[in-house]
Amino acid sequence: MELRNKYSIPKNTVITVTGTVGVGKSTMTNTLANTLGFRTSLEKVDTNPYLDKFYQDFKRWSFHLQIYFLAERFKEQKRMFEYGGGFIQDRSIYEDTGIFAQMHYEKGNMSEVDYQTYTSLFEAMIMTPYFPHPDLLIYLEGSIEDILERIQKRGRLMEQNTPVEYWIEMHKRYENWINSFNACPVLRINIKDYDLMNDGTSIEPIIEKISFFLKQTKELQK
């Protein structure tokens, strides 16, 4: 029996997978989508024209990169909206603003005026019908040691060559961000509690939790 039916997960559900770089979002997104028969909304890294340059010179490329990500996320939001849901999304627009843009602004890599331009564009975008909140946000958490190991193992040179302090700061910012996030229900999952690479059955308990969360939210909305 398909797990989506077994756990009564509505066909039009939108779930967003969040967490710091390298924590395992894409792996989780693909596994959930395959198991539930949902579409994916993935971040495309290989075709991003700014990412490599950004890692070489944050100050020069921060604003360009943020605008690029905003445009990409907006197109994806529109696509999910037009399909009427049924998506697992890899990373949220909330992280672009609440983690990356803010961090680079606060570190002086983005000027005040650029940050304001970025913020007003973001606010204008979320006021369109394409931006309903996801039904559930899954937050993947793990120790900084495990995350650094995954970044190294994955082998994207631009990330491997970035000082460890950058990833440590991002890890801390993520913890603060999720502790005050309240735009939609949050399910926290520790990466030590499952192993999608070696144990195919470890997705089912996660789907069971998702189902429980979605039902609980529905009850609260009644």
Ligand X SMILES: Nc1ncnc2c1ncn2[C@H]1C[C@H](O)[C@@H](COP(=O)(O)O)O1
Q: State the catalytic residues.
A: 90
> Does the footprint of ligand X cover residue 43 (CB under 6 A)?
yes
Q: Which does 45 bind (CB under 5 to 8 A by kind): ligand X, ligand ADP, none?
A: ligand X
Q: Which does 72 bind (CB under 5 to 8 A by kind): ligand X, ligand ADP, none?
A: none
> Does the footprint of ligand X cover residue 169 (CB under 6 A)?
no
Q: How far is the CB of 153 from ligand ADP (least distance, A)?
A: 5
> Does the footprint of ligand X cover residue 61 (CB under 6 A)?
no
Binding site for ligand ADP (CB under 6 A): 19, 21-27, 150, 153-154, 195-197
Query: How far is residue 178 from each of residues 35, 76, 169, 182, measured CA to CA in Å?
Result: 26, 23, 14, 8
Phi, psi for residue 17 in degrees, rounded to 5: -100, 125
Phi, psi for residue 132 in degrees, rounded to 5: -70, 150
C-beta neighbour count of 191 within 10 angstroms: 19
> Does the footprint of ligand X cover residue 87 (CB under 6 A)?
no
Q: Are 22 and 150 in contact (CB under 8 A)?
A: yes
Binding residue (CB under 6 A) for ligand X from 96, 114, 135, 141: 96
Q: How far is the CB of 75 from ligand ADP (least distance, A)?
A: 19
The 3-state secondary structure of 124-190, one letter per residue:
HHHCCCCCCCCCEEEEEECCHHHHHHHHHHHCCHHHHCCCHHHHHHHHHHHHHHHHCCCCCCEEEEE
Binding residue (CB under 6 A) for ligand X from 51, 206, 210, 214: 51
Q: How far is the CB of 68 from ligand X (least distance, A)?
A: 9
> Does the footprint of ligand X cover residue 210 (CB under 6 A)?
no
